[in-house]
Amino acid sequence: MAFNILIVDDSETMRAVIKRTVGMTGIGVGELLEAGNGKEALEVLADAWIDVVLSDINMPEMGGLELLKTMQEDDVLRNIPVIFISTESSNTRMAEAKELGVAAYVKKPFLPETIKEIMMDVLNKAYASRMDEISAEGGTDQSADEMDF
């Protein structure tokens, strides 16, 4: 199974670092798309199917918290898990992100193993939740067991 991933960061180098790290995780990657801020991310999300968003918080024009808030207000985008990858690691900021519905939080600087662990956990939960929804709609009787990527 391959996942489409959107990386949102105003630094081109950091997007490259995250891309390389995601490549090292062994998680099946379909399309790996990029955006330089929250506003650009919403444009990508309007055009492409994305399975998970990896976003910075502190960005010009539209930051990660505003992006998450906007996604939560949309019936479709609210189902896409957002993982924050940021230097902002204060308790206040993390509580704010959690309240807005962030799926997980990774502090920069990060180790590839941390990204792998968190992405697998988030994607497993998202997959299980989606399967539950489909079962509830009567679309299939497929088990919502967690997958190993």
Partner 1 sequence: MDQSIKDKIGESAAEVFSTMYFISVQLLPDLPPQDKWDLDTTYISARIHFTGPVSAVICFFFPGSLARNIAESFLGIEAADVSEKQAVDTMQEAANMVIGTFLGKADPDGACKLGIPTAQYISGFSPAELDSEAESFAFMSEFGYLWMTYSD
Footprint of partner 1 (CB under 8 A): 11-14, 16-17, 20, 58-60, 86-93, 107-111
What is the closest distance, in whole angstroms, from the C-beta atom of residue 75 to partner 1 in the complex? 32
- Please give the helix or strand (H or E) that residue 54 lies within, else none: strand 52-55
Nearer to partner 1, 114 or 124 (CB): 114
Query: Residue 33's Cα: distance from chain center in Å?
Result: 12
Q: Which is nearer to partner 1, 110 or 149 (CB)?
A: 110
Comparing CB distances to partner 1, the nearer of 112 and 125 is: 112
Could you tell me if 34 and 6 are in contact, meaning their C-beta atoms sit under 8 angstroms apart?
A: yes
Cβ-in-10-Å burial (0-12, 13-18, 19+) of 139 comes to exposed
